[in-house]
Amino acid sequence: MNGKNTRLYLENKLLGLRWRLRQAWWDGSSALSWQLGGRARYERNWRQQAGNHVWAFIVGCNNSGTSLLSDIFRRSGLVSTMPGEGQYLTQAMLRLPLPGHERVWSEVLDEIQADLERLPARMPRLVHDWMRSHSRPLQRILLEKTPANLVRMRALEAHLDCRFIGMVRNGYVVAEGIRRKAGQSLERGARHWDAVARLMLRERPLVRHFHLVSYEDLTTRPDETLAGVARFLELPPEPLVQAGQARFRVGRTVAGASASGIRNFNAPSLARLSAEDRAVIRALAGETLARFGYADQEPASGKTP
């Protein structure tokens, strides 16, 4: 291992340790809050507490721009946001990834569905944990970002006033990113993208409020795309559009990633794919790629299927 790789390895180890310590602190403080009055308040009144707000969820496949969109919302000041993914800020929900399934959560849909059966009984704790996690003052709209909540949309809508923003990105790029960042095979990455995209097509007609956003539109036509998201949530578009003009730190899994304006990073990922790689992805996800406008390897943007 050369000097640069050693430094990156150690930096990522340190980041992982910091994350685990922060998670342990958050779980402990949440449990303490629940015991010191949270249980008594929310077990009686969680519906009233939750019903005072609209709950907006950013869902979709990982590596599709969900973190970028969440960061734009955070900078806009229009909504209350969380300091991380909602799944890590509650003890009332199965946390992903499960061991061996990093960045390919579609492989454990059975476990997610089994956990959903316990959601109604856990709603008081879930609302308590999430509401204490949102930035203050609490806005009308509370934003949550956990990509795998795509599976949970109907269950969440049964209890909360929900709006869902689904993110989709070129499946060739997502599969390449899963291989590069998680060390999974290209085949697993392609199957995961295909499974999540198909799940989105199946589930979105079954919820009342769903808005599809492509990574390509967000990064090449940010003003227009963000204005559309604002209209969907009945928010003034100007603050969200202005927030999209800030500089963002991308590549959170790469130590030392620098901040820049919104950019489309598909081209470098596509360049890493050989002709054989593209053939593998096309064989596993070709039909769904075509439905979203990604039949070619380098489309300008996706389409609404």
78 pLDDT more than 60: yes
Buried (b) or exposed (e) across 89-128, using 16+ Cβ within 10 A? bbebbbebeeeebebbbbbbeeebeebbeebeebbbbbbb
- pTM (two decimals): 0.93
Neighbours of 60 (CB within 10 A): 29
The whole-chain average pLDDT of the chain stands at 93
Q: In 3D, which of 262, 210, 243 has the Cα closest to residue 78?
A: 243
- Rounded distance between C-alpha atoms, residue 172 and residue 294, angstroms: 8
Q: Which CATH number fits domain 3-291: 3.10.20.30, 3.40.50.300, 3.40.50.1820, 3.30.160.70?
A: 3.40.50.300
Report the C-alpha gap between 206 and 26 in whole angstroms: 34
What whole-number distance in Å separates Cα of residue 48 and Cα of residue 46?
5
pLDDT tens, 12-22? 788 888 989 99
CB 156 within 8 A of CB 163: no
Q: What is the DSSP string of the chain?
A: --HHHHHHHHHHHHHHHHHHHHHHHHHHHHHHHIIIIIHHHHHHHHHHHHHTSEEEEEEE-TTSSHHHHHHHHHHHTSSB--SS-GGGG-SSS--SPPTT-TT-GGGGHHHHHHHHTTHHHHHHHHHHHHHHHSPSSPPSEEEEE-GGGGTTHHHHHTTS-EEEEEEE--HHHHHHHHHHHH---HHHHHHHHHHHHHHHHHHGGGSS-EEEEEHHHHHHSHHHHHHHHHHHTT--HHHHHHHTTS-EE--TTSTTPPEES----HHHHHHT--HHHHHHHHHHHHHHHHHTT-SSSS-SS----
Domains of the chain, by residue range, sit at 3-291
Q: What is the C-alpha to C-alpha distance for residues 43 and 124, in angstroms, rounded to an integer?
A: 5
Where does the pLDDT of residue 5 fall: very low under 50, low under 70, confident under 90, or very high at 90 and above? Answer: low
pLDDT digits (tens, 9 = 90+) for 117-167: 999 999 999 999 999 999 999 999 999 999 999 999 999 999 999 999 999
The predicted pLDDT at position 305 comes to: 77
∠ Cα 266 268 269 (to 5°)? 65
Q: What's the N-to-C CA distance of the chain in angstroms?
A: 46
pLDDT tens digits, 183-202: 999 999 999 999 999 999 99
Res 8: pLDDT? 67
Q: Which segment of 47-61, 107-121, 124-138, 288-302 scores lowest on mean pLDDT?
A: 288-302
| Banded pLDDT at 300 (limits 50, 70, 90) | very low
Amino acid (1-letter code) at residue 168: V
Q: Is 159 left (phi over 0), alpha (psi -120 to 50) or beta?
A: alpha
Residue 76 confidence (pLDDT): 98
**Is the predicted pLDDT of residue 63 greater than 70, yes or no?**
yes
Average pLDDT rounded to a whole number, residues 172-192: 97
What number of other Cβ atoms are within 10 A of residue 274's Cβ?
9
* 260 confidence band (pLDDT: 50, 70, 90): confident
Q: Please say if the pLDDT value at position 257 is more than 60.
A: no
Average pLDDT over residues 232-257: 80
Handedness of CA 181, 183, 184, 190 (dihedral sign): positive
Flag whether pLDDT at 254 surpasses 60.
no
